[in-house]
Amino acid sequence: MPSHYSPIALFAYRRTRHLTLTLDALERCPEFARSPVFVFSDGPKSTAMEADVRSVRQMLAARRLPNLTIVESPKNNGLANSIIAGVRRLCDTYGRVIVIEDDLIASPALLTWFNDALETYDGVPDVWQISGHQFPVPAFAPRQDSMFLGFSTSWGWATWKSAWSHFDSDASGYEALRRDPALRSSFNLNDAYPYAEMLERQMAGAVDSWAIRWWWSMFRAGALGLFPPRSLVVNIGCDETATHASSRLARFLQPVRKTNIATQPPSFPTKILLDKEAQGSLEGFLRTQNRKMQWARAIMARLK
């Protein structure tokens, strides 16, 4: 075993219970104790949040982990700015980074997967991201090998400095999505999910998302993400404490349960190519989930 592993950037705000569970799960990964861990603790958005943020920082300090560095921001930067800056910082220092938010429960195999994949595909120009999350696509259930998809994820991922250097926070050229129906459809994964609408809302200042801009950066470059056939992480944050998600709607997008989480890392593909069959299966799944979410929105609108 190496003396140390890829650095982990853990982003936290005000949910002490969620963050505790996230850290507990990460500590069950064999690589955790030898990994440099940086917790980026965002500052409170208002005085009402000060006690929650203080609680998070007190819990982190009390754990006394020798490999953990707490990076406390005196002001509120927001999730997007926090992640963009934190990922850049660790990429500049270490050349790679594993990114975890404070509401993700990792499989004990997650860090094995990330570290092996980061090493295996280091320097491969077309591969920009390693994903820990996977949707429960029925066609993927019997698979033992991972797959390259034209897609990105925000629920547990890893990347290299060489890839992150292409992140375009300005989403240059996104206006073309309004003029070019074919481009818009492609960015939406063949109309499986309204990512173009999300990007337009981001650029209009209506949402705070680094992830949609990262997907635009990958999409424009034709970059690939490596995905497991079954998720190695589960999101527990889609509840009443969520800052950036509607708990009722998010259930439709992320039906992975702790009992479905993979316990072993998958094997790597034999070729570095887009898996077109898997891409089609993913798009079909997301298309179905999107229809469910639209139905849920309609029901919620009637209840208001």
Q: Which domain CATH number covers 115?
A: 3.90.550.10
The reply to whether 292 falls in a domain is yes
Helices 16-27 & 50-63 angle (0-180, nearest 10): 20
pLDDT at res. 39:
98
Expressed as residue numbers, the domain containing 129 is 8-303
Any residues with CB less than 8 A from the CB of 47 and at least 6 apart, and which? none
Strand partners, 9: 38, 99
The reply to whether 118 falls in a domain is yes
The reply to whether 1 falls in a domain is no
The reply to whether 194 falls in a domain is yes
List the pLDDT tens digit at each of the 304 positions of the chain: 566 799 999 999 999 999 999 999 999 999 999 999 999 999 999 999 999 999 999 999 999 999 999 999 999 999 999 999 999 999 999 999 999 999 999 999 999 999 999 999 999 999 999 999 999 999 999 999 999 999 999 999 999 999 999 999 999 999 999 999 999 999 999 999 999 999 999 999 999 999 999 999 999 999 999 999 999 999 987 644 444 444 444 444 444 455 578 999 999 999 999 999 999 999 999 999 888 877 666 665 565 5
The reply to whether 171 falls in a domain is yes
pLDDT at res. 282:
97
- Whole-angstrom CA distances from 219 to 76, 84, 107, 195 are 30, 18, 28, 11
Is the four-CA dihedral 222, 276, 132, 34 of positive or negative sign? negative
The reply to whether 25 falls in a domain is yes
pLDDT at res. 238:
60
Domain count of the fold of the chain:
1
Residue with tokens 């629920």: 155
The reply to whether 3 falls in a domain is no
Which run of H or of E encompasses 39? Answer: strand 37-41
The reply to whether 12 falls in a domain is yes
Greatest pairwise CA separation for the chain in angstroms: 57
